[in-house]
Structure 1
Amino acid sequence: MNGQHATLADVAARADAAFTPSAEVRIGAEVEWLVFDRSDLTRRIDASDAARTASGELPAGGTVTIEPGGQVELVTPPHDGPRSLIDAIESDTAALANRFAEHDLALVPLGLDPIRDPVRTLEVERYKAMERHFLDVSPAGVQMMNLTASLQLNIDFGPDPVQTWQRAHAIAPLLAAAFVNSPTTDGTEFQPISHRMRIWAATDPTRTRPADPDPAAWGNYILDARVIPGSATHTFRDWLAQPTPPTVDDLDRHIETLFPPVRPRGYLEFRMLDALPATGRRAAVATVWALMTDHGTGDVAFEAAHKLDDPWGLVHERGTGHTDLHETVAHLLDLSARSVRPIDPRLANAVTTWSERPSPARPDDVGDWVLGAAEPT
């Protein structure tokens, strides 16, 4: 605990530390699922029930946390490459899916729950404060907390954090479009877009908008984000100017609530990917690894991304229904498959398979569609 008053120098120090170079590049994941009762899809699974069901050691050493709406999150340690990460995810996923199946519960890798209402069931003060803030700022924040699930990939910066950050910033909207898996909000209409990312974008733009491509601007992102809890106009910069300024602990808690699509934390967090089925997970891990470690492939993707006008706008409004974005995403996935094929043909095949998936079509029954996405047991 650090109760000393925070200063601009403390903000600058944390902003600098967020871009730490590394001699090696490792990759890890945070894999999320929605949890459904197979016999009653409308039943809300309480966070405490999800935690009890998930408890116990996992074969590959992952750990489990529970999100506010009862979503289950598997957190892996960092791995030296994509294959070992994927093997670890699949091993721990199988164990978790079997634990939930014993209670007739399904782990469903979809980015957005299209059936239930957003209700927080996790009694943690941080999430209570976030809920109060989002109810004041935007109802989308309550949906984000309780109805969404993602695949977050974490990767080291390597020796050149500035180049790595700028590349990640450029390709982030392409990755969001490539790995959409939340095509509907309520089962009445299906679109090739990430409704999950649209919800995140609307939650509180001061903390969810894309960060600046210049790493030096990260300090201003921290300062200009609204405080939780606080008024809709109370930024951290405002708080520093108050007679009773925030403490260093307040600063650290504030930074933890910033959620741009790519977040620097001493390594990179790719936060724009929807929760994905096994093939999609393999493809996403392989693609991020290829684009961030194969500099020739990454440079080509960087240039392709900069040819699009307002890529995040395209992602949110049209997705791969937009011809230029669709072609650029297809190019990115082809580049990634070719990059990883010499080291792991199975991963390359996963990328190709994912790139060839059909566009979403409205199913006859949204419940059958949800359960059809569940992890096998």
Structure 2
Amino acid sequence: MPDSVSDCTDCTEPRTALTEAEVEALVRGICFKTGPPRSLGVEVEWLIHELRAPQLPVTPERLEAAYAALRAVPLRSALTVEPGGQLELSSPPAASLMECIGTVSADLDAVRAVLAEDGLALVGIGHEPWSSPRRFLRQPRYDAMETCLDRTGTAGRHMMCASASVQVCVDAGYEEPGPLGHGRRWWLAHQLGPVLVAAFANSPLVERRPTGWLSTRQLLWMEIGAGRAGAPRLDGEPRAAWARHVLDAPVMCVRQDGGPWHVPEGLTFREWTRSGTPRPPTREDLDYHVTTLFPPVRPRGHLELRMIDAQPGEDGWIVPLAVTAALFDDPEAAETAYRTVKPLAERGLSRPAPNNPLWLDAARSGLADPELREAADACFAAALEALPRLGATPGVTEAVAAYHDRYVARGRCPADDLLDPLRGTDPARSRPRPNEVTPTSHGKDIRT
């Protein structure tokens, strides 16, 4: 989901209009902040369910009361509410993997305690499996977003109101070429993306029925369309490619003070700078425009990997965070990941992510795809070797190993746990209820 942005209390106040050349220069200047990879971050989104009856929808009144109570809780992570009432915690930049895990885990403990007092629970699933999408937030931003996305079908409403993810944020990397160079990391993020989609797919149900996709959340991004949720082509210099993508992407809305925001149809930001209609765009409009683009990898100075479904269990989010951090920030693991996914890239060269054959196969079939399974197995092995070098505790390393054994080595993913009871197969592996101990945690704190 997009970043939290003000609803614009003074949008009609005169500001300096931007030219097309200025937009390109601004985007190129801010999208990749290069240097040694030192910081790590994570954004964890959660569905909110009834603790004792998770298949019943939570009323807006109860959600509002719960969030009012949470606003009084001191947290180090930023707490935001998504349009459908999902909760998101965004960590501050951390100097190490364990610092990031420690901060977010402590904040989640505090959040869970408050929600439990009202009989509510955080649930890690990539798409709401039981209830229809319902919008909780009524703000000009989301009114405009809904109007815009409804033009291409219902996927936008599902994305806004019923999806949840684990988004891992890594530094852009060095300016110079090499395993930790920004060009390599930009390429790796996109080519590793399908492996992460497949390994962590966890959204196979909509309104209690299988969709035929293990990551329905990823399917939604594909259906929203390349202009809004696609990536630029990877055959050029990253800064130039992203600047072109921003300029050629459709404008979601033109903010204004008072009344609904204008939602143009088919107007790109490049055309807006040239026409100046309905009013000339400003730097504030550019900043806002970038937050309405949802590519699988979003450059924000750092790289934001957005393709991972929310994970089951209280600590399930730690596994994709640890694996991704290891594959990007440990030079040996990064080189292994690069060599591993390079042959896979040929399956997705025809179209940019996520609307290409490799991403489609990952979302539909997960690790049942033999090439994706082989790549995931190699990447998990490289991550497991790297995690001690990154200072990971034995508990974190053991959790990654347990996930590998339970899912990756068997060509499975968490979506299979949700589907097993419906298939009538392997009921012993079916998903525990949200307040039960999960196989990921083995009944102990994996942070230690």
User: Which TM-score applies when normalising by structure 2?
Assistant: 0.77
Change (3 A) 1:45 1:152: farther
In structure 2, what is the equivalent of residue 293 of structure 1? 329
Does the CA contact (< 8 Å) of 1:106 and 1:375 recur in 2? no
In structure 1, what is the equivalent of residue 56 of structure 2? 42
Asked if 1:322 is matched to 2:369, the reply is yes
| Greater mean deviation of Cα atoms: 37-46 or 206-215 | 37-46
In structure 1, what is the equivalent of residue 340 of structure 2? 304
**Residue of structure 2 aligned with 1:174, choices 195, 203, 209:** 195
Asked if 1:271 is matched to 2:306, the reply is yes
Asked if 1:238 is matched to 2:264, the reply is no
In structure 2, what is the equivalent of residue 51 of structure 1? 67
Paired residue type of 1:280: G
1:77 offset after TM fit, Å? 0.8
In structure 1, what is the equivalent of residue 399 of structure 2? 350
After superposition, the C-alpha distances for 1:27-58 in whole angstroms (9 at most, x for unaligned) are: 11111110012355332442533421322234
Unaligned runs of 5+ in 1: none
Q: Superposed, which structure 2 residues align to 1:30-109 within 5 Å?
A: 30-40=43-53, 41-46=55-60, 48-58=64-74, 61-109=76-124
Does the CA contact (< 8 Å) of 1:319 and 1:325 recur in 2? yes
Does the CA contact (< 8 Å) of 1:35 and 1:72 recur in 2? yes
Does the CA contact (< 8 Å) of 1:180 and 1:192 recur in 2? no
In structure 1, what is the equivalent of residue 32 of structure 2? 19
After superposition, the C-alpha distances for 1:211-261 in whole angstroms (9 at most, x for unaligned) are: 333412001110121111334422212222224332222221111111111
Asked if 1:211 is matched to 2:211, the reply is no
**Residue of structure 2 aligned with 1:121, choices 136, 141, 147:** 136
Asked if 1:258 is matched to 2:279, the reply is no
1:207 offset after TM fit, Å? 1.8
In structure 2, what is the equivalent of residue 4 of structure 1? 16
Name the SS for the 1:70 alignment partner.
coil
User: Which TM-score applies when normalising by structure 1?
Assistant: 0.91
Q: Superposed, which structure 2 residues align to 1:183-194 within 5 Å?
A: 183-189=204-210, 193-194=214-215
Distance (Å, rounded) in 1 between the aligned partners of 2:297 and 2:92: 19
In structure 1, what is the equivalent of residue 446 of structure 2? none
Change (3 A) 1:171 1:237: same
1:356 offset after TM fit, Å? 2.2
Name the SS for the 1:316 alignment partner.
helix
Name the SS for the 1:5 alignment partner.
coil
Name the SS for the 1:351 alignment partner.
helix
Does the CA contact (< 8 Å) of 1:54 and 1:99 recur in 2? yes
Change (3 A) 1:322 1:232: farther
Does the CA contact (< 8 Å) of 1:138 and 1:204 recur in 2? no
1:26 offset after TM fit, Å? 0.6
1:282 offset after TM fit, Å? 1.9
Does the CA contact (< 8 Å) of 1:4 and 1:248 recur in 2? yes
Unaligned runs of 5+ in 2: 1-10, 176-181, 254-262, 349-357, 424-429, 438-448
Name the SS for the 2:44 alignment partner.
strand
1:193 offset after TM fit, Å? 2.4
Paired residue type of 2:343: K
Paired residue type of 2:33: T
After superposition, the C-alpha distances for 1:292-340 in whole angstroms (9 at most, x for unaligned) are: 1112211221222121213212213322121111111111111111111
Distance (Å, rounded) in 1 between the aligned partners of 2:24 and 2:81: 32
